[in-house]
Amino acid sequence: MLHVFSGVWALLLGILLIMLGNGMHFTLIGLRGGIEEFSSAELAIVTSGYFLGFLSGARLTPLLIRRVGHVRVFAALGSFMSAALISFPLLADPIAWTLLRILVGFCMSGIYVAAESWLNNASTNETRGSVLSAYMIAQTLGIIGAQGLLTLGDAGTSALFIGASILVSISFAPILLSVTPAPVVEVARPMSLRDLFKGSPLGTVGIFLLGSVYATQSGMGAVFGSQIGLTASQIALFVAMLFAGALLLQYPIGWLSDQMDRRRLIFGAAALGMTSCLIGWLTGGGLWPLMAAAFFAGGVTTPLYALLLAHTNDYLDADDMPAASGGLVFTFGMGAITGPLVTGWAMEGLGPFAFWLVLGATFAAIALYALYRMTQRAVIPTEETQSYLAVLPTTSAVAVEAAGAWAVEKAEADAEQAEAELAEAELAEAELAEAAQAQADQSDAEQPETTRKPGSEP
């Protein structure tokens, strides 16, 4: 295991530092926006700006990398992102913040494309699953750890924005100074939405709705906390709970995913998310019930993303998976742009607890559509499904494609192993039968003369 990570530790460390800075900035937008008295609708537009930039970066960054190379693009995006983070407290205006968020989203998307290309290139078929899992854990720990760093300063000053900028700046040092060779970025052209929906209606609709859920949780969670009067430390804990649940729920759900009809599991996870949102709405602001609601509502979001990806791949040929990955990332991005806008306008008209109503309604839509799809298509036997890999919603098409390739390779390896075990069992059974027959023949040959029937030849 140590040998596996010896070649990618610099990348993982860099990603951890980037997520610390980016995670701080996500929550800071809600905290500082409340201090600046921005409305819910204004902050919703600011939040959607990030995902608009992220979606644009996913399409354009591979072209930039092919033109000028990994290192230049990586360094340039890091510089722009660091500058953008430090500019937020200097430009306290919703329009300026929206433009800065578009820039930050574009830079983060490009950083993911470059980093994930490096990771994929540094992995082998045998190690890719472990490396991708470590990458997802580093991202999640970075986001959670960022919430703890927010308690060290005052969102009303520039200190925390400066800290986020510093973390992003230094995160590129271990990556750019490592000896890892820069790979060629190859991202498949996204599959059309019509073909994607035809191949997997539940995967397409579910990913779009889940994009709305994820963007609302990560972008509007701090806004909600600020508007109901939580302290900065409580808001940081609330946002941390949204992501901490994924660390504990990801692997049990992943295990179940390989044991049962994934549509049933998608229904169950979405129903749990809906129930958690209902609890959050009914608590009336009680601190610990809110934290529990955030833990489970956020905890099922990331596993649902991986479940929907795996479910989609189950109904596709291996050759179509790369194009489908790009289509699903695009669909998720469209949902992520839409979700905060709907939530912000709902909170503006119905109050801050509309945050839970919109989330709960979206989870309910996923659950009901999964239930409907169970009546429209026969279940695929579990032994014929692709393997599940914990992929985060923040990853680019590069990681999603790599995860899909790993799932295919693992499924093929498992099938070959099962065939080999079956052949070995059949051979052992044949050998046992042959040995039993030989023993029976020997027993007949050694039978005493007195036991022979009268008239039989000696």
CA distance 306 to 320: 18
pLDDT of residue 457: 47
Mean pLDDT rounded to a whole number for the chain: 83
Instruction: Tell me the pLDDT band of 12, cut-offs 50, 70 and 90.
Output: confident
Instruction: Tell me the pLDDT band of 458, cut-offs 50, 70 and 90.
Output: very low
CA distance 54 to 205: 20
Phi, psi of 29 (to 5 degrees): -60, -45
Within 13 Å, how many C-alpha atoms sit on residue 116's CB side? 28
CA distance 64 to 285: 47
Closest CA to 70 of 134, 140, 119, 139: 119
Closest CA to 301 of 267, 261, 256, 270: 270
Can you read off the two tokens belonging to residue 342? 């709907």
| Dihedral sign for Cα atoms in the order 346, 351, 352, 358 | negative
- Count helices and strands in the chain by DSSP H and E runs: 16, 0
| Dihedral sign for Cα atoms in the order 334, 337, 339, 341 | negative
Contact indicator for 161, 21 with CB cutoff of 8 Å: no
| Dihedral sign for Cα atoms in the order 3, 4, 10, 14 | negative
Distance (Å) of CA 47 to CA 207, 271, 290: 19, 26, 22
Residue-wise pLDDT tens digits, 318-365: 667 777 777 888 899 899 999 999 999 999 989 999 999 999 999 999
Is pLDDT of 419 > 80? Answer: no
Residue-wise pLDDT tens digits, 197-211: 888 899 899 999 999
Is pLDDT of 300 > 50? Answer: yes
The fold of the 2-178+192-417 domain, in CATH, is: Growth Hormone; Chain: A; (1.20.1250)
Is pLDDT of 110 > 90? Answer: no
